[in-house]
Amino acid sequence: LRLLEPQLDSCNARLIGEVASGKLPFLNLPFRSSLTARLKALTPQLRRFKHMVVLGIGGSALGTRALQKAFFPQQDLPNHQGPWLWILDNVDADVLEAQMSTLNPEETIVVPVSKSGGTIETLAQYFFMKAWLQRALPNTWHEHMLLVTDEKKGYLREEADRHNIVSLPVPDHLGGRYSVLTAVGLLPIAAAGLDIDQLMAGAQRAMEALSAPDLDNPAWQYAAARNALYESGKKVELLVCYEPSFRFFSEWWKQLYGESEGKENKGLFPASVEFTADLHSMGQYIQQGERLMFETVVKFAPKGEFIIPNDPANVDGLNFLSGKPLAFVAEQAMRGTILAHVDGGVPNIRIEIPEISESVIGGLLYFFEKACGISGYMLGVNPFDQPGVEAYKKNMFALLDKPGYEEASKAIKARL
C-alpha cells in the first residue's frame, strides 16, 4: 500500500480542495449543529404521532433504513420512543394499499424525502398519501406532512410553499447517497428516539481522525486496499457482517460505492452477505466459485451474556458447546470463516469497531463516505455524479408519456 501513498495524497488533496470550494458539503456536515437543534425542537411534535411514513428512494431512504434497522430492528424495543417508522421506497400497489388501509391518518405523519423534489417513484406515492390525508383531514392534512427537499426548487418545494407544509432542507451540492447525516436521515431517526447528538459527535470525531494525510488514516488504507485488489483482478467487494441488525447498513453502503464508482466501464461490484446465515447459502460460491471477489468484514466486539446450557444426556454429542458464551461461538465462526476464505483465494479487509452505538455508527458512516471519495478519485472516476441513472428515467418518462418526450416515446414503444 505504501506504493500508493503519492496517489492517495493527491486524491485526498483534491477532495480537500472540493470541500474548501463548497462543492462537497457532506464532509463538513458534522459541524452543522443548527440542524440538530432544529430537529430536536421538532421532535416533541413528531412524537405525538403513532406512525411516520417516509416516502423516498435510493439515497433518500437507504440511510434512514440502515439506521432504523441498526437501532430498532424490531420497532418495539424499549428505547424506541416515537412513531413507528415505515419507509416506502418502491412503487408497489400492495405495500401502499396495506399502509393506507392499516394506518389511521389522524395518528400518522407522512414525510416525503426528495432532494430533487421530482423523483417519479416518490411523487407517485406522495400523490396517494396526500389524497389519503386530505380525505380524512380536509382542513388539517398539511399538519400531517413534513417535507425534506431542496430549499429553493423542485415540485415538493412548491408544494411546501403552496400548502404551508413544514419543511426541512437538503443542502446544495449533495448527492442523495451522501445525505444520511442531514435531515434526510436524521429527522425520522430522531423522531424514533435515536440520540442524534451522539451520532453527529461520532461523525465529527471521525472527521478529525480521518484528516491525517498519511497511510495511518483508515480511510486511506481502505481506499488503497480496495483499489489495489481491483487492480489485481478482483471484481466484487463483499461487505460482510455478522450482525443481522447491520444487514441494511450494507444496502446503504452498496449504493454509496456502486453509484459512486460504477461508471466508465469501471468499478468493483458491491455486494453484501450476513454471516453466519449466508454461509449456508453463499458460502459454497465464496469458498470455491470463480475467484473474483474479496471481502470487507465489519466486525463489532462480541456482546451478550448468553451461555449455552448443558444437556446431561448429551444425545447429540454437542456438549462440547456447553458453558460457552454464544458470542464466543460467533467469534470462532468468524475466525474460521476468514481463515477458510483467505485460504480459498478471497482476501479479507477487516474493519473492527466496538459496538452498535450512535457515536460508532455516526463515525462509520463518515468513514465510508470519505473513503468513497478518495477511492473514486483513485479509480479515475467522479464519485459524486450518477449519469447512468438517467437512462432508465428517460425511458420511463417516455413510456409514461411525459410532455417533451413525444419522440422518445414513439421510438421506445416501437422497440417494445
The answer to whether the beta carbons of residues 255 and 184 sit under 8 Å apart is no
Whether the CB-CB separation of 33 and 193 falls below 8 Å is answered with no
According to DSSP H, which parts of 116-193 are helical?
A: 120-136, 155-163, 183-191
CA distance 287 to 268: 19
Q: Does 60 bind ligand PA5 (CB under 6 A)?
A: yes
Tell me, what DSSP letter sits at residue 302? P
393 is catalytic: yes
Instruction: Kindly state the smallest distance separating residue 173's Cβ from ligand PA5, in Å.
Output: 12
DSSP-derived secondary structure letter, 171: P
Q: How far is the CB of 303 from ligand PA5 (least distance, A)?
A: 32
- Residue with Cβ nearer ligand PA5 (251 or 278): 251
User: Is 204 or 386 the residue whose CB approaches ligand PA5 more closely?
Assistant: 386
CA pair distance 219, 374, nearest whole angstrom: 8
Among 51, 65, 69, 115, binds ligand PA5 (CB under 6 A): 115
The answer to the question of residue 116 lying near ligand PA5 (CB under 6 A) is yes
Q: Are 271 and 254 in contact (CB under 8 A)?
A: yes
Phi, psi of 274 (to 5 degrees): -115, 110
Determine if 58 is a binding residue for ligand PA5 (CB under 6 A). yes
63 binds ligand PA5 (CB under 6 A): no
Q: Point out which span in 54-62, 69-77, 96-104, 375-383 binds ligand PA5 (CB under 6 A).
A: 54-62
Least distance between ligand PA5 and beta carbon 118 (Å) = 7
Distance CA 336, CA 269 (A): 25
The residue among 153, 157, 92, 152 whose CA lies nearest residue 124 is: 92
Q: Which of 30, 59, 83, 258 binds ligand PA5 (CB under 6 A)?
A: 59
Cβ contact 319:310 at 8 Å: yes
In the residue annotation, 261 being an active-site residue is answered as: no
x-or-dash string of contact with ligand PA5, 183-222, rule CB under 6 A: ----------------------------------------
Query: Residue with the closest Cβ to ligand PA5?
Result: 176
Tell me whether residue 331 is one of the annotated catalytic residues: no
Q: How far is the CB of 350 from ligand PA5 (least distance, A)?
A: 28
CB nearer to ligand PA5: pick between 175 and 270 = 175
Q: Residue 263: count other Cβ atoms within 10 Å of its Cβ.
A: 19
Q: Which of 89, 259, 274, 369 binds ligand PA5 (CB under 6 A)?
A: 259
- The Cα 84–Cα 91 span in angstroms is 21
Min separation Cβ 317 and ligand PA5, Å = 51
Whose CA is closest to 378, among 254, 228, 214, 215?
228
119 binds ligand PA5 per the rule CB under 6 A: yes
| Binding pattern for the stretch 169-188 against ligand PA5, x by CB under 6 A and - elsewhere | ------xxx-----------
What residues are paired with 295 via a beta bridge? Answer: 238, 348
Query: By rule CB under 6 A, what count of residues binds ligand PA5?
Result: 14
The closest of 384, 46, 396 to 186, measured between CA atoms, is 46
- Least distance (Å) between residue 72 CB and ligand PA5: 22
- Our finding on whether 114 is near ligand PA5 (CB under 6 A) is yes
* Alpha helices (runs of H) in 142-290, residue ranges in sequence order: 155-163, 183-191, 196-209, 218-231, 247-261, 283-288
Catalytic residue among 121, 243, 259, 358: 259
Tell me which residues touch ligand PA5 (CB under 6 A): 57-60, 114-116, 119, 122, 175-177, 259, 386
Tell me the catalytic residues: 259, 280, 393
